[in-house]
Chains A and B, each alone.
Chain A
Amino acid sequence: MQQEKILTFDDTDRETAAQLLEKYWVIRDREPELYQQIREREQMLRNYFFDKCGFYLLVHKDFAKLEKIPDQAESWMGFSELEKPRDYALLCCLLAYLENKSIDEQFLLSDLCEALPVLYPVNDETDDSEINWESYEWRRTLVRVLSFACDQAILSRVDGEIGGFSGSQEQEVLFEVPSLSRYFLRSYPKDLFQYADKNELIQAERADDENQKTGRTRRNRIYRQLLLTPSYDKGEAQEDDFLYLRNRRNRLLDDIAAHTLFAFELYEQVAMLTLPEKRVFATVFPDQRAVSDVLLHFARYVRATVEDGVNVPTTEGRVILTPAEFERLLLLCKEQTDHGWSKEVRTWSLAKLSQQVLQELVEWKFAHIEEETGMVCLRPSLARAVGQYPKDYRQGVDGHGNE
Chain B
Amino acid sequence: MDDKCLKAIPETTYLSAGNVRRYRGILHYFYVQHEKMRQYLFPEDVYQYLRQDEVFADYTEDELQQDLKQLVEWKNLIPRQETGRVMTIEDFKRKKFRYQCTPYTVEIERMVEHLYEIGNSFGGSLETTMFDRLFQSLSRFQEEAKTGQGSELNQAWEDVYSYFKKIVQSASDYLAHLKSEKVEERMMTEAFLVYKDSFADYLRKFILGLQQVSYNIESILRNFETEVFERAAQELASYQLSIPRLEETLSHEEFVLKYQDQWQSLRDWFLGIPGRASELTSLENETTETIRRITRFVQRIGEKQQNVRNRYKDYLHLATWFAQENSIAEAHALSAMLFGLSQVRHVFADQAESENMYQSVWQVAPMKITVKPRTNTYREKRRPGAVIGRAAEKTAALEQYLAERRREQELIDSIIENNRIVIAQLPVQEPFIRKTLLAWIGKCMASQNHTAKTEQGRQIRLVRQSDASITLTCLDGRLTLPDFVIEVLS
Contacts and interface: CB of A to CB of B under 8 A. Distances in A.
Interface string B356-391: 011111101011111111110110110000000000
B329 A75 contact: yes
Interface stretch (B192-200, B230-238, B341-349): B341-349
Contacts of B341: 24, 68-70, 77, 228
A130 B349 CA distance: 47
Given A69-B337, A393-B373, A380 B344 contact: no
Interface string B323-340: 111111111111111111
A266 B331 CA distance: 32
Contacts of B333: 73-75, 77-78
A172 interface: yes
B361 A317 contact: yes
Contact of A267 (B310, B314, B322, B360): B360
Given A339-B373, A381-B347, A104 B85 contact: yes
A216 interface: no
A389 B361 contact: no
Given A263-B352, A274-B348, A269 B360 contact: yes
A392 B381 contact: yes
Interface stretch (A95-103, A326-334, A350-358): A95-103
B323 A121 contact: yes
A275 B349 contact: yes
A385 interface: yes
A384 to B, nearest CB: 6
A26 to B, nearest CB: 13
Interface in A366-403: 380-381, 383-390, 392-393, 395
A103 B296 contact: yes
A76 to B, nearest CB: 7
Given A21-B344, A92-B318, A284-B348, A387 B370 contact: yes
B86 interface: yes
A100 B313 CA distance: 11
Given A79-B332, A88-B331, A268 B359 contact: yes
Sorting the interface of chain B by its residue count into under 10, 10 to 19, 20 to 34 or 35 or more gives 35 or more
B456 interface: no
Contacts of B334: 73, 78, 88, 198
B319 interface: yes
A384 B340 contact: no
Contacts of A96: 311-312, 315-316, 319
Contact of B362 (A73, A192, A303): A303
B226 interface: no
Interface string B288-324: 0000000010001001000111111111111111111
B86 A106 contact: yes
Interface in B395-425: none
A23 B343 contact: yes
B310 A159 contact: no
Contacts of A119: 316, 319
Interface string A76-95: 11111011111111111101
A272 B347 contact: yes
A229 interface: yes
Interface in B77-92: 85-89, 92
A340 interface: yes
Contacts of B329: 75
A80 B342 contact: yes
Contact of B345 (A89, A103, A283, A303): A283
A158 interface: yes
A303 B75 CA distance: 86
Interface residues of A, number: 120
A16 to B, nearest CB: 15
B392 to A, nearest CB: 34
A383 B344 contact: no
A310 B318 CA distance: 48
B351 interface: yes
A112 interface: no
A179 to B, nearest CB: 8
A52 interface: no
B360 A192 contact: no
A297 interface: yes
A74 B345 CA distance: 12
Contacts of A23: 343
Interface stretch (A6-14, A27-35, A36-44, A180-188): A180-188
A383 to B, nearest CB: 4
A189 B351 CA distance: 42
B155 interface: no
Interface string A238-274: 0000000010010000000000001101111110111
Interface stretch (A132-140, A207-215, A285-293): A285-293
Contact of A186 (B87, B313, B340): B340
Contacts of B89: 108, 159-160, 172-174
B312 A386 contact: no
Interface in B270-294: none
Contacts of B377: 395
A383 B313 CA distance: 47
Contacts, number: 321
Nearest to B373: A340
Contacts of A267: 354, 357, 359-361, 364
B45 interface: no
Contact of B337 (A70, A174, A283, A342): A70
Nearest to A307: B362
A385 B367 contact: yes
Given A108-B92, A383-B361, A285 B347 contact: yes
A22 B318 CA distance: 25
Contact of A95 (B315, B342, B366): B315
Nearest to B95: A106
B296 A99 contact: no
A321 B89 CA distance: 59
Contacts of A303: 362, 366
Interface string B6-42: 0000000000000000000000000000000000000
A276 B350 contact: yes
B340 A24 contact: yes
Contact of B380 (A78, A120, A381, A390): A390
Contacts of A22: 343-344
A231 interface: yes
A237 interface: no
A187 B307 contact: yes
Contacts of A192: 311, 314, 317-318, 338
Interface of A: 21-24, 65-70, 73-80, 82-93, 95-96, 99-100, 102-104, 106, 108, 119-121, 130, 158-160, 172-174, 176, 182, 184-187, 189, 191-193, 197-198, 201-202, 227-231, 246, 249, 262-263, 265-270, 272-276, 278, 282-286, 290, 293, 296-297, 299-300, 303, 306, 313, 317, 339-343, 363-365, 380-381, 383-390, 392-393, 395
25 contacts: A24-B342, A75-B328, A78-B342, A85-B326, A85-B330, A88-B331, A88-B334, A93-B315, A120-B323, A121-B323, A160-B89, A185-B338, A186-B339, A193-B313, A193-B314, A246-B357, A268-B359, A274-B349, A275-B347, A286-B369, A313-B360, A365-B345, A380-B361, A385-B349, A395-B373
Interface of B: 85-89, 92-93, 296, 300, 303, 307-352, 354, 357-362, 364, 366-375, 377-378, 380-381
Given A75-B330, A106-B86, 14 more contacts: A85-B325, A93-B316, A182-B303, A191-B314, A193-B314, A193-B317, A267-B361, A293-B374, A303-B362, A383-B362, A386-B366, A386-B367, A389-B372, A393-B378
**Shortest Cβ-Cβ A-B pairs, 6 listed:** A78-B332, A340-B373, A77-B336, A75-B329, A96-B315, A92-B319
